[in-house]
Amino acid sequence: MSANATKAEQAEANDAEQPAVKKTAPKKKAAVKRSPAKKPAKKEQTTSEKTAEELVDTMKEIITVQLGVYGTISDELSARLEEIRAETPKKWRKMEKRGEKVLKDLEKSQQDLKKKIEKAQKDLKTDLEKAQNDIKKKVQELAP
């Protein structure tokens, strides 16, 4: 080879001088034997079982929501009941005062009505006596 040859040319020349070697594929490592895949202990769920589970979950959710509604209503009623209990004595006194006023008005009305009835009875008695006297006079006039 010449001194001016490039390294790539020198490498080709060296390859050409050496006998051809048959290249073989690298050897593969022996495959590790594995035991057959184990089946899961739990049987796979069928579509109907999945649907049933979803239905159960949905029902649980509905029940939970209903209980929440009942709890909220109970809380609101309890709060309202406490308000009513706090207001009751005030309202009781107010109604008692109003009842006393109505009772006074009723007593006055009763007295007025009693007076009117007594006057009407007196007037009626007077009219009746007058009518009796008129009838007696007429009877005496007609009697011989």
User: Both tokens of residue 127?
Assistant: 């009219």
Residue 11, pLDDT > 80, answer no
Let me know: does 1 contact 13? Beta carbons within 8 Å.
Answer: yes
Give 142's pLDDT tier (boundaries 50, 70, 90).
Answer: confident
Let me know: does 1 contact 11? Beta carbons within 8 Å.
Answer: no
Measured CA to CA, the distance from residue 136 to residue 130 in angstroms comes to 10
Q: Which tens digits make up the pLDDT trace of 22-69?
A: 556 556 565 556 665 555 555 566 788 888 889 999 999 999 999 999
Classify the C-alpha dihedral 120-122-127-132 as positive or negative. Answer: positive
Q: Which residue has better confidence, 47 or 8?
A: 47
Written as one letter, the residue type at 118 is E
Residue 135, pLDDT > 80, answer yes
pLDDT (mean) for 109-129: 94
Q: Which residue has better confidence, 20 or 143?
A: 143
Q: Which residue has better confidence, 7 or 118?
A: 118
Measured CA to CA, the distance from residue 89 to residue 96 in angstroms comes to 10
